Amino acid sequence: MDLYRFEYCLYCDNPIQPSLGWRDFLFGPKEAFLCPKCEGKLERIEEPACRICGRPGKGMDRSFFKDGLCYDCLRWESSGNWKGVLTKNLSLFEYNPFMAEIIARYKYRGDYILAKIFAEDIKRGLDNLEHDVIVPIPLSPERLKERGFNQAEALAKEAGAETQPLLLRKHTEKQSKKSREERIHLPQVFEVKKDGEKWVRGKRILLLDDIYTTGSTLRHAALALIQKGVKSVSSLTLARG
């Protein structure tokens, strides 16, 4: 056991000084993926937060929240088509400029190893949400070929979580190119695989994705599953935009 080995930050490449506490001597040093400076740029979401989407309430005008729900979720829940479709989303971090850059490197520039940074947080998040089956939000075949991997599946894999790819996705223009209103009023792009219907009926499904922005993607995926008889749909996302 080498207590004096140096690791390097996956973001800035600076060496990470190993910790030398008594726990490290007993159990070995904990593997680190970010240096303290970069780690400090991550903003974990804490209470108070919207009880459905997890939008952080800290520093936000109270008029934006009512009965524990943010204004966006109040609008979703006021619609007969979307009421109760997504029971809860747990987002782990705020989508600040540092997180945006990490996700851009990971998602669009193929820096797959960055998924390791969040493995332990994903594990804890999964433990905090009741579920029977974990379903990663899929990419269209065209987008998967373009990127080379599914970012949601990779997050689950690094966390040691078993997933079921039960959804198919039609190819559309990139979400990042759409306005908020366009994202909210998207046509349905998801469907449940025919051989996956046996997995969903009566089950509690947990969707996994990288970012919650408007909630449209997750709710469309949830609706496709609910129409096949699932008991409930919740979601875990890395960041809340």
Angle between helices 119-127 and 151-158 (to 10 degrees): 90
Q: Per-residue pLDDT tens for 63-83?
A: 788 889 999 999 999 998 899
Residues near 160 by beta carbon (within 8 Å), at least 6 away in sequence:
119, 123
Tell me the pLDDT band of 3, cut-offs 50, 70 and 90. very low
**Is there a contact between 121 and 129 (Cβ–Cβ < 8 Å)?**
no
Segment 188-193 mean pLDDT = 95
Mean pLDDT of 87-98: 97
Give the pLDDT band of residue 58 (cuts 50, 70, 90).
Answer: confident
Sequence-ordered alpha helix ranges (H) in 53-179: 71-77, 97-107, 119-127, 141-147, 151-158
The residues spanned by each domain of the chain are 7-39, 62-240
| Structure confidence at residue 171 (pLDDT) | 85
Q: Which two tokens stand for residue 15?
A: 């060496």
CB atoms within 10 A of CB 154: 19
Is residue 240 scored above 70 in pLDDT? yes
Q: pTM for the whole thing?
A: 0.88
In this predicted structure, what is the pLDDT of residue 17?
A: 80
What pLDDT shows up at residue 4?
A: 42
The pLDDT assigned to 1 comes to: 39
Q: What is the pLDDT of residues 208-234, one digit of tens each?
A: 999 999 999 999 999 999 999 999 999
Q: Which CATH architecture has domain 62-240?
A: 3-Layer(aba) Sandwich (3.40)
Higher pLDDT, 3 or 67: 67
Give the pLDDT confidence of 101-157 residue by residue, as tens digits.
999 999 999 999 999 999 999 999 999 999 999 999 999 999 999 999 999 999 999
> Each residue of 13-53: pLDDT tens digit?
999 887 655 555 555 556 789 999 999 999 999 988 999 99
- Residue-level pLDDT at 59: 65
Residue with structure tokens 């943010």?
Answer: 70
**Is the pLDDT score of 85 beyond 60?**
yes
Q: How far is CA 198 from CA 133, 166, 194, 228, in A?
A: 12, 10, 8, 9
Q: Which two tokens stand for residue 120?
A: 């332990």
